[in-house]
Amino acid sequence: MEGREMTVDDVSFAAGLFNLHENIALGFWLLYLTVVILSIVVFNLGFARKLPLLKNIVVYAALLIGSLIIAFFGVFYPVVESLIVAGLILGIYRIRLRMHKRSKPQKEQTN
């Protein structure tokens, strides 16, 4: 029994952008790198406190290992797209929070 060939319609949009259906090894590592970068961005945007160095190393090591598993799911599911949306939402939240904190002292000075 011969297996069927993978096409761009069989993979997620991001995996298709990396031509994972043509070159599986290169496409997967590009997908993994993208998942790692986006996970780091989302972690930094969502986690407000600064961590000590050792805790930071542990968190990033777990993030690297976890991103490998998530990248496997990202071949067929829209994981990268979800991380982009999460990053945009957290980025907008951070900008609005910063704007609110800057306007708060100005309102206190006028009273």
Contact 87, 38 (CB under 8 A): yes
Total Cβ atoms within 10 A of residue 85: 12
Retrieve residue 108's tokens: 């206190």
Separation CA 6–CA 21 (nearest Å): 6
pLDDT of residue 47: 84
Q: What is the pLDDT of residues 78-100, one digit of tens each?
A: 999 999 999 999 999 999 988 99
User: What angle, rounded to 10 degrees, do the helices at 24-46 and 79-110 form?
Assistant: 20
CA-angle at 33, arms to 10 and 56, nearest 5° = 135
> Is the model's pLDDT at 28 over the cut of 90?
yes
Separation CA 26–CA 71 (nearest Å): 13
The percent of residues above 90 in pLDDT, for the chain, comes to 60
pLDDT of residue 1: 42
> Is the model's pLDDT at 110 over the cut of 70?
no
Say which range, 2-6, 48-52, 83-87, has the weakest mean pLDDT. Answer: 2-6
Q: Quick one: how many helices (H) and strands (E) in the chain? A: 4, 0
